[in-house]
Amino acid sequence: MCGFAGFANFTDEISQNENILKNMNETLSKRGPDEDGYYIDKHVALAHKRLIVIDPKGGKQPMIQKYSFGTYVIIYNGQIYNTKDLKETLEKNNFTITTHSDTEILLKSYIHYGKNVVNYLNGIFSFVILDTNKKELFLARDHFGVKPLFYTILGNTLIFASEIKALFKYPNVDKILDNQGISELFGIGPAHTPGITIFKNIYEIKPAHFGIFNHNGLKLQRYWKLESNVHTDSLGQTCEKLKYLLNDSITKQLVSDVPLCTFLSGGLDSSIITKFAADFYKEKGLPPLNTYSIDYVDNDKNFVKNDFQPNSDNYYINLMNKHLHTNHHTIIIDTPELANSLKDAMIARDTPGMADIDSSLLLFCKNVKKEMTVSLTR
């Protein structure tokens, strides 16, 4: 994943606030350890922390495109799965594509489609685009809100970032927990009401929404809504359609210029993802897919069968490995490690979450990152 931060004020000049921008960006170092980049003009400041996945040289951010009719700048976190289709459309409309980075495809798609670009995107994303001709920012988040985008407003200034903690590096953005925040935390946490956070005046761009910020302020708009329809397909049609959708979704996420793996718990979701990914690797003549699972010290001694879980995870993990011939790795974690990582896990989330489940995931990912950069999981 990557991370970004920035602020904009189309009324007053903010170019003197470079140090503030750098402080905000430094809080995102763990999201993007490979590169950082900055763009600052009189009214807009943009920063990016990059985890390199695709096109190390061509995907640098902020990415800038200059035309006779204006300059466009993008900061972006995510992955666009239909870049090939978008690229073909752009080239038919006389756009020149110079990299194989989805960042360039996304930026030029915005230049081509304008705010309607979100209707053409298949992927997980949050991004901010500066249009110097219109003197406005375009902010957008993917359909289900996989990628985060938080913001607050101070006077005429919009401050935004991939993580809440970056917003607090901006002067006078205070950490205030009011009654609504307490209700969120203790009433429905670790879930939350879409659009708000536990902190007063700290908001998120809702899933399937975009925003336009200019001298008139910030206006938000929904661009997609999940619809429920009567299911009319037969069992056979349903199976074929489901198989196609799963294969299409999973294989499109296997595009990477860096080491990639899947997490394999032995459950239904991770087993399905690993099955399609392993088959894809075989079809392309690639080395066996790397898979990773987590286990705990003495778990084999302390596991007790029950109706909910009649077998340990390892039983099903081993079945999948034998069937798919993956290159499997098991990360073993001890209880003291989990306890010592509880605070780090909460800091990573910016809010209290699911305790040892979060610290388990944090430690697991830290260990996997030693060899892999991208992982597919449910």
**CA distance readout (Å), 355 to 163, 279, 344, 377:** 19, 35, 10, 20
Contact 348, 30 (CB under 8 A): yes
DSSP 62: S
Phi, psi of 28, deg, nearest 5 = -100, 15
Phi, psi dihedrals of residue 209, rounded to the nearest 5°? -130, 155
DSSP collapsed to 3 states, 76-109: EEEEECCHHHHHHHHHHCCCCCCCCCHHHHHHHH
Q: How far is CA 357 from CA 1, 190, 283, 308, in A?
A: 20, 12, 35, 18
Say how many Å lie between the first and final Cα of the chain, rounded. 16
Q: How far apart are CA 50 and CA 60, in angstroms?
A: 8
User: Other C-beta atoms within 10 Å of 37: how many?
Assistant: 18
Tokens of 153: 């407003």
Alpha-carbon distance of 170 to 18, in angstroms, equals 11
φ, ψ dihedrals at 269, nearest 5°? -65, -55
Task: Characterize the bridge pairing of strands 327-333 and 290-296.
Answer: parallel
d(CA 24, CA 5): 6
Cβ within 8 Å of residue 128, ≥6 positions away: 4, 6, 46, 74, 75, 76, 137, 138, 139, 149, 160
What's the CA gap between 153 and 140, in Å, rounded? 17
Query: Is the distance from CB of 356 to CB of 251 less than 8 angstroms?
Result: no
Q: Of 2, 239, 261, 365, which is the active-site residue?
A: 2
Rounded distance between C-alpha atoms, residue 168 and residue 350, angstroms: 11
Q: DSSP state, 149?
A: -
Could you confirm whether 261 is annotated as catalytic? no
Bridge partner residues of 46 (DSSP): 6, 39
Task: Show which residues are catalytic.
Answer: 2
